[in-house]
Amino acid sequence: MTVAVIGGGITGLALAYQLRARGTAAVVLESTSRVGGNVQTHARQGYLLETGPNSFLDREATTRELADALGVSARIRPADAAAKKRYVFTRGALRALPTSPPAFLKSDILPLASRLRVVGELFSGRNPTGSDESLAQLGRRHLGREATAVLLDAMQTGTYAGDPEQLSAEATFPQLVKFEREHRSLILGAIRAQRAARQAKAPGAVEPGPRLSGQMSTFDGGLGVLVDALAKALGDAVRTDAKVEGLERAADGWKVRFTHGGQPQELSASHVVLAVPAHVAAALVRPLDAQLADVADRIPYAPIAVVHLGFAPGSVPKPDGFGFLVPAVERTAMLGTIHVSTTFPFRVEGGRVLLTCLMGGARRPEVVDRDEDALAALAREELKTMTGLTAAPELTQVYRWPRGIPQYTVGHLERVAAMEERLKRWPGLHLTGNAYRGVGVNDCIREASRLAQALGGPAAPATRSA
Ligand X SMILES: Cc1cc2nc3c(=O)[nH]c(=O)nc-3n(C[C@H](O)[C@H](O)[C@H](O)COP(=O)(O)OP(=O)(O)OC[C@H]3O[C@@H](n4cnc5c(N)ncnc54)[C@H](O)[C@@H]3O)c2cc1C
Q: Please, what is the minimum distance in Å from the beta carbon of residue 415 to ligand X?
A: 17
* Interface residue with ligand X, options 21, 40, 41, 56 (CB under 6 A): 56
446-458 residues labelled b (16+ CB within 10 A) or e (exposed): bbbbebbeebbee
Q: Please, what is the minimum distance in Å from the beta carbon of residue 450 to ligand X?
A: 13
Whichever of 7 and 210 has its CB closer to ligand X, that residue is: 7
Whichever of 319 and 440 has its CB closer to ligand X, that residue is: 440
* Interface residue with ligand X, options 3, 5, 21, 39 (CB under 6 A): 39
Determine, following the binding rule CB under 6 A, whether residue 441 of this chain makes contact with ligand X: yes
* Interface residue with ligand X, options 2, 22, 25, 31 (CB under 6 A): 31
Angle at 402 between CA 226 and CA 216, to 5 degrees: 35
- The stretch near ligand X (CB under 6 A) out of 4-12, 76-84, 103-111, 143-151 is 4-12
Q: Please, what is the minimum distance in Å from the beta carbon of residue 365 to ligand X?
A: 13
* Interface residue with ligand X, options 4, 11, 303, 370 (CB under 6 A): 11
* Interface residue with ligand X, options 22, 75, 126, 243 (CB under 6 A): 243
* Interface residue with ligand X, options 109, 296, 304, 353 (CB under 6 A): 304
Q: Please, what is the minimum distance in Å from the beta carbon of residue 112 to ligand X?
A: 34
Whichever of 164 and 440 has its CB closer to ligand X, that residue is: 440
Determine, following the binding rule CB under 6 A, whether residue 306 of this chain makes contact with ligand X: yes
Q: Please, what is the minimum distance in Å from the beta carbon of residue 373 to ligand X?
A: 19
Q: Please, what is the minimum distance in Å from the beta carbon of residue 79 to ligand X?
A: 12
Determine, following the binding rule CB under 6 A, whether residue 456 of this chain makes contact with ligand X: no
Determine, following the binding rule CB under 6 A, whether residue 15 of this chain makes contact with ligand X: no
Q: Please, what is the minimum distance in Å from the beta carbon of residue 193 to ligand X?
A: 22
Determine, following the binding rule CB under 6 A, whether residue 139 of this chain makes contact with ligand X: no
Determine, following the binding rule CB under 6 A, whether residue 336 of this chain makes contact with ligand X: no
Alpha-carbon distance 297 to 292, whole Å? 9
Whichever of 149 and 368 has its CB closer to ligand X, that residue is: 368
* Interface residue with ligand X, options 4, 5, 10, 67 (CB under 6 A): 10
* Interface residue with ligand X, options 21, 94, 229, 244 (CB under 6 A): 244
Q: Which residues contact 174 (CB under 8 A, 6 or more apart)?
A: none
Determine, following the binding rule CB under 6 A, whether residue 12 of this chain makes contact with ligand X: yes
Contacts with ligand X in 345-404 (CB under 6 A)?
401, 404
Residue 102 burial (CB count, 10 A): 8
- The stretch near ligand X (CB under 6 A) out of 100-108, 371-379, 431-439, 452-460 is 431-439
Whichever of 12 and 210 has its CB closer to ligand X, that residue is: 12
Determine, following the binding rule CB under 6 A, whether residue 155 of this chain makes contact with ligand X: no
Report the relative pairing of strands 93-96 and 242-250 from DSSP bridges: unpaired
Q: Tell me the torsion sign for CA atoms 312, 314, 317, 322.
A: positive
Alpha-carbon distance 391 to 410, whole Å? 43
Determine, following the binding rule CB under 6 A, whether residue 8 of this chain makes contact with ligand X: yes
Question: How far does CA 335 lie from the centroid of its chain?
Answer: 15
* Interface residue with ligand X, options 18, 55, 148, 217 (CB under 6 A): 55
* Interface residue with ligand X, options 4, 6, 226, 445 (CB under 6 A): 6
Q: Please, what is the minimum distance in Å from the beta carbon of residue 281 to ligand X?
A: 9
Determine, following the binding rule CB under 6 A, whether residue 38 of this chain makes contact with ligand X: yes
Determine, following the binding rule CB under 6 A, whether residue 276 of this chain makes contact with ligand X: yes
Q: Please, what is the minimum distance in Å from the beta carbon of residue 443 to ligand X?
A: 7
Residues in the interface with ligand X (CB under 6 A) total 37
50-69 residues labelled b (16+ CB within 10 A) or e (exposed): bbbbbbbebebebbbbbbbb
Alpha-carbon distance 319 to 323, whole Å? 8
Determine, following the binding rule CB under 6 A, whether residue 30 of this chain makes contact with ligand X: yes
Residues that bind ligand X (CB under 6 A): 6-12, 29-32, 37-39, 52-56, 243-244, 275-277, 280, 304, 306, 401, 404-405, 433-434, 439-442, 444
